[in-house]
């Protein structure tokens, strides 16, 4: 009987901890992570793994606590030895200026994962993959659901607006030379979800230099120009040759002083970006 009792106690000791953890994710091993792109940095924090971040690119400035993380390199670029000095387990980035960096890191025992984020779908896929890499699958599922739900709310307001009733939007990324967003950009997706028509939606590119004639002939009703100072915006566009007759300029539907970081980074603030563009498009219509 004593042997049976001891065997029972040993079995109970082995099973009891398993019962306590039933239904929970297995304890994660903390990884030392370096991000070489602001979008990746924001995703890492959004998924609750900010404390795992041991290095960042110089452009990563959100959320505020990331500023205390050591700079490991520039956007999509760094020196392999510099990265390895921070003892990372993994490097995450949206792009690499020098693709050979991935091989250099692999030779030094560091995994480098490149996840392109050039559309909303790619953002959601990246969140899922990062959730798996950083053992935070539940947080990733919640983030995917949050973004999809927020987009659905805006889409419900705009999806029934006929195409010919949607205002034409010129989105100026840069002014010298003129740069805008084409069909293959997430900016184009934002404008469409928000109920507008991108004047460059017919161009099979992401971002490109466009001619003043394209903008003038398109007669946009709304101009969105993130980062431009409000005091200069109206005069800036009115002084451009031939632009003074564009409806957006005539009716003062020009929207500067918008955060480039929010609008140009396909990260967790995608939902804010769409809301900003929605408000620009519908501000006077509502």
Here the CATH number for the domain that contains residue 261 is 3.40.50.1980
Residue 255 has pLDDT above 70, yes or no: yes
Domain identity same for 190 and 212: yes
17 lies in a domain? no
| pTM of the predicted protein model | 0.87
Structural domain harbouring 184: 161-282
Residue 10 has pLDDT above 90, yes or no: no
As to burial, measured by CB atoms within 10 angstroms (0-12 exposed, 13-18 middle, 19+ buried), residue 36 is: buried
Mean pLDDT across 271-284? 94
What would the 3-class secondary structure string for 149-177 be?
HHHHHHHHHHCCCCHHHCCEEEEEEEECC
Do residues 140 and 127 make contact, with C-beta atoms less than 8 angstroms apart?
yes
143 lies in a domain? yes
Domain identity same for 188 and 106: no
pLDDT at position 1: 43
Percent of the chain predicted with pLDDT > 70: 89
Please indicate whether residue 75 or residue 286 has the higher confidence score (pLDDT): 75
pLDDT at position 2: 42
Mean pLDDT across 76-84? 91
Length, in residues, of the chain? 286
Residue 216 has pLDDT above 50, yes or no: yes
Residue 230 has pLDDT above 90, yes or no: no
Residue 159 has pLDDT above 50, yes or no: yes
pLDDT by residue (tens digit) across 86-133? 999 999 999 999 999 999 999 999 999 999 999 999 999 999 999 999
Domain identity same for 166 and 269: yes
- Supply angle C-alpha 151, 154, 155, rounded to 5: 80
Number of domains in the chain: 2
């Amino acid at each position: 009987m004593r042997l049976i009792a001891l065997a029972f106690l040993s079995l109970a000791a082995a099973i009891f901890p398993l019962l306590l953890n039933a239904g929970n994710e297995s304890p994660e091993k903390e990884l030392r992570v370096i991000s070489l792109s602001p979008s990746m940095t924001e995703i890492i924090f959004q998924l609750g793994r900010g404390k795992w971040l041991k290095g960042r690119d110089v452009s990563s400035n959100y959320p505020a606590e990331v500023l205390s993380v050591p700079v490991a390199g520039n956007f999509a670029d760094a020196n392999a030895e510099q990265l390895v000095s921070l003892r990372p387990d993994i490097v995450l980035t949206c792009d690499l200026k020098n693709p050979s960096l991935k091989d250099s890191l692999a030779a030094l025992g560091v995994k480098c994962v490149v996840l392109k984020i050039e559309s909303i779908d790619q953002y959601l896929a990246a969140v899922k993959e990062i959730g798996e890499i950083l053992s935070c699958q539940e947080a990733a599922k919640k983030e995917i659901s949050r973004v999809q739900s927020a987009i659905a709310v805006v889409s419900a307001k705009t999806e029934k607006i006929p195409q010919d009733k949607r205002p034409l939007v010129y989105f100026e990324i840069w002014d010298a030379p003129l740069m805008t967003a084409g069909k293959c950009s997430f900016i184009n997706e934002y404008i469409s979800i928000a109920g507008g028509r991108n004047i460059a939606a017919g161009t099979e590119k992401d971002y490109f230099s466009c001619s003043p004639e394209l903008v003038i002939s398109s007669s946009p009703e709304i101009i969105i120009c993130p980062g431009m100072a409000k005091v200069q915006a109206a005069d800036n566009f009115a002084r451009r040759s031939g632009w003074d007759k564009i409806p957006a300029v005539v009716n003062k539907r020009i929207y500067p002083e918008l955060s480039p970081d929010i609008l140009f980074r396909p990260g967790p603030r995608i939902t804010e970006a769409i809301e900003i563009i929605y408000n620009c498009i519908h501000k006077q219509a509502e």
